[in-house]
Amino acid sequence: MADRKAELENKRKRLEEMRRIKEERNKKTGVSPSRAAKKVDGSSAFSDSGSSTNEIDSIFKELDLPSSSSIELTQARLETCSIDSGSQQSSPPPARKSVVLSISHREPISFAPKELVRYTKETQTVVTKEESPEPEVVKVEVVKKEVLQEEKEKKKEEVPKMVELSEEVKSQIMNSQDFLHFFDHAARIIEKAISEDDYVFDYGAVKDEGESESVASKKLALNRQFFDERWSKHRCVTCMDWSQLHPELLVASYNQNELSPQDPDGVALIWNMKYHKQTPEYIFHNQSAIMSVCFAQFHPNLLVGGSYSGQIVLWDNRSRKRAPVQKTPLSAAAHTHPVYCVEVVGTLNAHNLITFSTDGKMCSWSLDMLSQPQEVMDLQHTHTKPVSVTSASFQPGDVNNFVVGSEDGSIYSAQRHGSKAGIVEQFDGHHGPVTSIDYNAVPGPIDFSHLFLTSSFDWTIRLWSNKSTKVLYSFEDNGDYVLDTQWSPINPALFAAVDGMGRLDLWNLNNDTEVPTSSITIASNSAINRVKWSGSGLQLAAGDDEGHIYVYDVGEQLAVPRSDEWARFANTLQDIQANNQAITDIDRPLSPTNNLAANLISPPRM
């Protein structure tokens, strides 16, 4: 490397020496380098130094530099161009010719405007603003896709190794709230899918006419039976309610299981009629036994329960907990005795939760705040005798007037507000505790909302009108405690009743008032504690004292009212009143007649 540098240095010195000699020679001859470059035909100055020029060119070639002749020619050309431009600038510009102007007269010529032809026809074409990609870009994209496809195939071939979790980590995951919530939700979905065994149903198959007629003619047919070995066994069904938002959902409350003291005393289960699953949709529990339960109207996710301790509890199916999300305090300002009646009354924008307890208190609550009641009323018939409420019912379309049944068999009408707030009137009542009371809430051309039914431990069902304190009719076909009764929501003359012998009766007063129209006894002969009509009026749920719930389909011939059902029922009431009047006249022939038949028929509700 050092030899190469030394050689280059020697050549540079020789080159500088030659340039110096050349400059001295030019000075002696009096010719500038630019002038010498113009002599392309070979001047004497360059002819004498031909050998030196060749030597210089060889040196430039070794150094990878342009030859000296090309450099001199370039300089000569630049000087020539500068001389020419200078000569052009010094020459004067040419003189302009004078122009003679004159006025000429021409006749105007007009041309017709060009006619524009327009068409109203249109064509529909696909406009694309994207330019076709260059071939090279297309090739790059194709190659890129192929590379990505190969990478995906490689990833598929590479099977990830399964990491074995320790027992501690497994236990921690399985006990976490997120996992339990996910598992419970997924299990419900899978159970619904497994339970649907009718997925091969053939709609085009021809049914036997005799079979279809026999099914349609059945007045009561068992559809479903709900029972859970873990939560229903050895528990009594205390209350039931159907959801108005989801008609397939049925909630049932249960009291304590005496054989399992470690379990919660109160349980509320939500069953689903839509899917043929054997487990409840939701499970809720409480420390105290649940005596009454209902879906919170206007709040689709809330469930209200009344407990044996007097607390009002609120469950939310959006919560991951089975315990209540709200509960009332145990204080003298609210209930301190069992709550057998809970009901949400009012409208969407103005509604309250009304509760009754056996200590004679009626409380009004807001579902948003259960810390204290908005209104408290002591129901007392006399100044010293509180009414021990076991059942209550509000008049349809009225949030102020209601009737209650008590433990001593008495029946009272009452008001929440007004000059006569509290107990207003006392009816004749029963000879035993009143187990249920229910107003007739079927709308129609004739208003029967003043009628209500009561059942009692005295083995009777009684028909009343709030226009008279006397009983209208007493149904005495049962041979045991009548534990519950309820009007049909669609037929004004139809109601259901259950008793302690496990018998479910359907009474259609337009057909007969002496014996039930249809009757069925459950196989276990257990006492049926509660009965509840569905919102459609075509299904009936019955709960017994062993935790079983039976859902029956009611035949359309019996459940669906005819067009003249209201008029026939009005005639039936007149016949009942006439018979009562005749019996009264026989017992007391000297007393004046008092026909109340006209009062039993009211104009339709607006």
Instruction: Return the higher-pLDDT residue of 576 and 130.
Output: 576
The pLDDT, as a whole number, for residue 42 is 45
Average pLDDT over residues 415-430: 89
User: Which residue in 513, 410, 389 sits closest to 458, CA to CA?
Assistant: 410
pLDDT range class, residue 601, cuts 50, 70, 90: low
**What percentage of the chain has pLDDT greater than the value 70?**
75
pLDDT at 147 over 50: yes
CA distance 378 to 388: 10
Residue 476 CA to residue 486 CA, distance in Å, equals: 16
Encode pLDDT of 12-39 as tens digits.
888 888 888 888 888 877 655 555 444 4
pLDDT for residue 163: 75
pLDDT of residue 410: 92
Q: What's the pLDDT at 40?
A: 40
In a domain, 7, yes or no: no
335-383, pLDDT tens digit by residue? Answer: 999 999 999 998 888 899 999 999 999 999 999 889 899 999 999 887 7
pLDDT for position 106? 73
Mean pLDDT of 409-434: 90
Radius of gyration of the chain (CA): 53
> Residue 303: pLDDT band by 50, 70, 90 thresholds?
very high
Distances (CA, A) of 84 to 80, 94, 260: 6, 18, 124
Kindly state the average pLDDT of the residues 86-100: 58
Q: Which two tokens stand for residue 509?
A: 């007063």
Long-range interactions of 485-488: CB distance < 8 A, separation 24+ = 485/436, 485/438, 485/453, 485/454, 485/455, 485/461, 485/531, 486/436, 486/438, 486/453, 486/531, 486/532, 486/533, 487/438, 487/439, 487/440, 487/441, 487/442, 487/453, 487/533, 488/442, 488/533, 488/537, 488/559
Q: Give the CA dihedral 288, 289, 292, 296, nearest 10 degrees.
A: 50
What's the whole-number mean pLDDT along residues 254-259? 91
Region 459-472: what's the mean pLDDT? 93
Q: Is residue 603's pLDDT more than 80?
A: no
Cα 27 vs. chain centroid, distance in angstroms? 107
> Which has the higher per-residue pLDDT, 71 or 160?
160
With cut-offs at 50, 70 and 90, classify the pLDDT of residue 43: very low
pLDDT digits (tens, 9 = 90+) for 224-244: 999 999 999 999 999 999 999
Q: Which helix (H) or strand (E) holds 508?
A: strand 503-508
**Residue 388 pLDDT:** 92
Q: Is residue 30 domain-resident?
A: no
85 has pLDDT over 60: no
- Tell me the pairing of strands 411-415 and 326-327: unpaired
Q: What is the distance between the alpha carbons of residues 387 and 406, in angstroms, rounded to a whole number? A: 6
Residue 261 pLDDT: 86
- Please give the Cα distance from 197 to 93 (Å, whole number): 111
Predicted confidence at residue 100, as pLDDT, reads 74
| Collapsed DSSP state (helix, strand, coil) of residue 133 | coil
In a domain, 72, yes or no: no
184 versus 496: the higher-pLDDT residue is 496
Question: For residue 250, what are its two tokens?
Answer: 């049925």
Angstrom distance (rounded) from CA 309 to CA 89: 121
For residue 343, the cross-strand partners are 354
Stretch 474-478: mean pLDDT: 92
Q: What's the pLDDT score for residue 8? A: 84
Average pLDDT over residues 274-292: 91
**In this model, does residue 142 exceed pLDDT 60?**
yes
Model confidence band, residue 403 (pLDDT cutoffs 50, 70, 90): very high
CA angle 511, 512, 513 (to 5 degrees): 140
Non-local CB neighbours of 422 within 8 Å, separated by 6+ positions? 377, 378, 379, 380, 414, 415
CATH code for the domain in which residue 483 is found: 2.130.10.10
Q: Kindly tell me if the per-residue pLDDT of 131 is higher than 60.
A: no
pLDDT top residue among 165 and 603: 165
Residue 25 inside a domain? The answer is no
List the single range of 2-6, 545-549, 587-591 with lowest mean pLDDT: 587-591
Distance, CA of 177 to chain centre: 22
**pLDDT (mean) for 571-597:** 69
Mean pLDDT for the chain overall: 81
pLDDT at 86 over 50: no
Residue with the bigger pLDDT between 275 and 495: it is 495
CB distance 532 to 551 below 8 Å: no
**Residue whose C-alpha is closest to residue 518's, from 546, 547, 536, 491:** 491
**Residues 596, 577 contacting (CB under 8 angstroms):** yes
**Residue 75 pLDDT:** 55
The domain total for the chain is 1
| Residue 420 domain flag | yes
Least confident of 207-221, 270-284, 501-515: 207-221
Beta bridge partner(s), residue 378: 361
Q: What percent of the chain has pLDDT over 90?
A: 47
Higher-pLDDT residue of 29, 213: 29
Can you read off the two tokens belonging to residue 603?
């104009």
How many Å from the N-terminal Cα to the C-terminal Cα in the chain? 118
CA angle 500, 543, 483 (to 5 degrees): 35
Domain membership of residue 308 as a residue range: 220-584
Cβ neighbourhood burial of 392 (10 Å; 0-12, 13-18, 19+): buried
Confidence of residue 65 (pLDDT cuts 50, 70, 90): low
